[in-house]
Structure 1
Amino acid sequence: MHSCTSPPATWCATASSPTSWLRTSGPTRPRQRSRVVDVVDPSRPRLNVPPRVGGDGEPEVFCADEQRDLPVDLERWQALAANVLRAEGVRGLCELSLLFVTELEMAELNELHMGAPGATDVLAFPIDAAEAEMVLHGQPPSRGPDRAPPDPADMPLLLGDVVLCPAVAARQAPEHAGTVDDELALLVVHGILHVLGYDHDEPTTRDAMRARERALLQDHHWGGPAPEGFRQEQSE
């Protein structure tokens, strides 16, 4: 588990854990299980991103709005998330959750999973990739010491959860992406890229992740160049 910073200001966090907070804080809907096949086009350039796996079918994005601070167009952000997954080469039956929560709930999650006080704008929770990586490298799984290591070909694929706080996004938008709409779009893309294995802990990975964010937003959010004033990092 580690925190993510986008210098010069902290604005996101990733909890790298094979267990989602959704599994411990209450179910939102039954998770689908599937047999697996490779789902990422191996010809795509990657940033040491583990392969995505899923059964026959299409990636699914589950969205929930659990706050009332800001109107949220769930269908729109669901479509953006699905387009990002497809653009990143994810294929097959797999699931991603996109949740919009209150500042109070985000603050609780941030403290519980990151050990940080206060609400942040986005938290990313990769799920199966971490456990699949452990199994593929001969490490014991996290699902019980008495169970034999599972065959990766029999593991279900749950990509992970992206949790966003619209109230925080709205507050920081003027110094960041420029508008609340662009801020939410950036956070959706940013969180999904974290779930898929991208990071910005080093200058090279940060530059590559920012470039990928901008390209995805141009293709699937604006339908053209970024507007004047759009920023991917906050001012001091």
Structure 2
Amino acid sequence: MSLQLAWTNEQQEWEIKEALISQLEKLLQKAAASEGITDGEVALTFVDDEQIHELNREYRGIDRPTDVLSFAMNESLDEELDIVYELEEGEELADVPDVLGDIIISVPTAIAQSQEYGHSIEREIGFLFVHGFLHLLGYDHQDDASEAEMMGKQEAVLAEVGLTR
């Protein structure tokens, strides 16, 4: 098994090119290596502001769009994986990829933020992706110390692939 990125595009605002996906796959490998993660799957979906607004309202009770949402899977959901994945004859649950979770990025918000911060859309999407990935692993930024830790990890991974400000 290895670490895998599965992605879908549900927005029309900006073309998702193979070069971006390749860069995100590198970021995933670097971020995972820095955290000791070698196996699993991350599902990434690109959406518009309307879709992320709806998800933010439904799952977080916040009635506005946001830039990125992360939904971590946890190991206690093994019984639910039986429902999600239809096992083939002879296949066991251990053969199913360890799904780390879902990351949803609003492309219009990422574009606006890249303009506001004066860097490329690729850098902003990379930042949001690594940010979302760290949330999947349990990192958060509820106080200054945890925010500083998370920001340091994000910037270190982005620098490894040349996505600096």
Calculate the TM-score normalised by the size of structure 1.
0.57
Q: CA RMSD in A?
A: 2.3
Residue 62 of structure 1 pairs with residue 18 of structure 2: no
Instruction: Name structure 1 gaps, 5 residues minimum.
Output: 1-56, 133-140, 144-152, 228-236
| Residue of structure 2 equivalent to 1:147 | none
Classify the secondary structure of the residue corresponding to 1:123: strand
Q: Which has the larger radius of gyration?
A: 1
- Which residue number corresponds to residue 64 of structure 2? 118
Distance 1:195 1:177 in 2: 27
Partners of 1:196 and 1:88 in 2: CA distance: 9
Q: CA deviation at 1:179?
A: 2.7
1:82 maps onto 2:29 in alignment: yes
Runs of 4+ in 1 over 6 A off after TM superposition: none
- The answer on 1:91 being equivalent to 2:74 is no
Which structure shows the bigger proportion of residues in helix conformation?
A: 2
Partner amino acid for 1:105? Answer: Q
Separation in structure 2 between the aligned mates of residue 211 and residue 71 of structure 1, nearest angstrom: 30
Alignment partners' CA distance in 1, 2:16 and 2:162: 15
- Structure 2: 5+ residue runs without aligned partners? 81-92
Cα distance, 1:69 vs. partner?
0.3
- Counterpart CA distance in 2 for 1:155 and 1:112 is 32
SS of aligned partner of 2:14? coil
Pair 1:214 & 2:155 matched = yes
Aligned residues: 149
**1:31-79 CA distance string (max 9 Å, x none):** xxxxxxxxxxxxxxxxxxxxxxxxxx21111111111101223333233
Structure 2 counterpart of 1:101, from 47, 65, 82:
47
Normalization by structure 2: what TM-score? 0.79
Tell me: CA distance 1:167–1:126, structure 2 relative to 1, closer, same or farther (3 Å): same
Contact conserved, 1:69 with 1:166, CA < 8 A, in 2?
A: yes
- Is the 1:185–1:221 contact (alpha carbons within 8 Å) kept by the matching residues of 2? no
**Preserved contact between residue 27 and residue 157 of structure 2 (Cα < 8 Å):** no
In structure 1, distance between residues paired with 2:95 and 2:138: 19
Counterparts of 2:56 and 2:42, CA distance in 1: 20
**Aligned-pair identity (%):** 26
Contact 1:64 1:100 in 2 (8 A): yes
